[in-house]
Structure 1
């Protein structure tokens, strides 16, 4: 079964669901097209790192779900735009290293508390992934890749994708949030974003 999986490297739910999607992919249960979906492209306002929304969501939902899955995660100190890291992810996908590069970004952001929208962290993620750090930083600023991120978002929104993580099936069904792969594999109904 082919699915499109929309993710953002600054979204904790994308980080959590990525593990389930990768496990299903590795088991041969699904074929995944990984698509970057920038949650807050400019000029949309960013969340406040110490704002009530994040603290409440993390306390009531993120930490519980991470504990259930045995995944280390911490409320980030930063809330950067994800344009540059996502553009670098596109490049990593082109060279066959998206998974390892994406995880290096996720771990730097959610486990180490680093600002992954900086040249230094993009380069460090590349080094951790066995990739050329200078090429990763250059890819992050590539205008064609940045335009492609915007185009992916526009296409996704036309298909009914309004946030991440989201699964989109060939038949147009979507699942927003965590648990989509488990529902898909068990035959349960998917839950589109209301």
Structure 2
């Protein structure tokens, strides 16, 4: 198996999207299979940024979606979830995760925010809640609060979203798989996967990107 990344998976998601959370076990499974040869890079995509109206968490539409789509897929993928009682904005949560990246704790905080929202029903749009989540992951809450108050990482969130628009992303999760070129060759075009794609779709993309076999396999 290659010891450095040769395959990249760029994933646009939103912390308030249940299908984004349901894609995490698939990406975990994929990463476990390919190890350090794969680099997963998460990107921000706010489904309802200011001033878009927030959804009513108690609406029949959301309840129907959970019963018909979310819960069955959660059962298939072994994910514990409950319908959150709140529908917050997610920009500050993205900023908190980016702050955590500076100390090498992005993955911990990223996963903890998802879990807090979809397993514990915590309002991840609330700054104090984000500080508690980050502190439990070993992130300095005082420095994080400063960064959130100052909007230190706001531009990075917006950059992620602007790039997503250029790619034509209109919903999440949205993943793009790409590879390093072979010596003296042009790399094959990246492959996009929309929605909560199963592991088989990722494996098929790898076969297309590496027709001669994945390095180390």
**Cα distance in 2, alignment partners of residues 188 and 31 from structure 1:** 13
Contact map agreement 2:10 2:177 (CA 8 A) in 1 = yes
Is residue 35 of structure 2 the alignment partner of residue 64 of structure 1?
no
CA distance in 2, matches of 1:14, 1:138: 28
8 Å CA contact 1:87–1:141 kept in 2: the answer is no
Match of 2:132 in 1: 124
| Per-residue deviation, 1:119 | 1.8
Partner of 2:194: 176
Which residue number in structure 1 is paired with residue 83 of structure 2? Answer: 75
Secondary structure of the residue aligned to 1:141 is helix
1:102 aligned partner: 110
Larger Rg: 2
Tell me the distance in 1 between the aligned counterparts of 2:207 and 2:53: 33
Matched residue of 1:111: which SS?
Answer: helix
Aligned counterpart, 1:3: 9
The match for 2:154 is 146
For residues 156-171 of structure 1, what are the structure 2 equivalents within 5 Å?
Answer: 156-170=164-178, 171=189
Please, which of 74, 93, 110 is the counterpart of residue 85 of structure 1?
A: 93
**In the aligned structure 2, how far is the partner of 1:54 from the partner of 1:37?**
20
Q: Between Structure 1 and Structure 2, how many residues are aligned? A: 190
Aligned counterpart in structure 2 of residue 23 of structure 1, from 29, 32, 40: 29
Correspondent of 2:122 among 100, 114, 129: 114
Would the alpha carbon gap of residues 179 and 137 (structure 1) be closer, same or farther in structure 2, given more than 3 Å must change? same
Residue segments in structure 1 that go unaligned for 5+ positions in a row:
none
141-150 vs 113-122, which moves further: 141-150
Q: Distance in 1 between matches of 2:122 and 2:200?
A: 31
> Aligned to 2:10, what secondary structure does the other structure show?
strand
Q: Mark the runs of 5 or more structure 2 residues left unpaired by the alignment.
A: 1-6, 179-188, 209-217
Are 1:122 and 1:137, in contact at CA under 8 Å, matched by a contact in 2?
no
Contact 1:122 1:136 in 2 (8 A): no
**CA separation of 1:175/1:147 partners in 2, compared to 1, >3 Å: closer, same or farther?**
same
Per-residue deviation, residues 115-157 of structure 1 (Å, max 9, x unmatched)? 0111221111112211112222333334241122112111111
- State TM-score, norm by structure 2: 0.80
Whole-Å separation in 1 of the counterparts to 2:10 and 2:78: 25
State the match for 2:181 in structure 1.
none
TM-score, structure 1 as length reference: 0.89
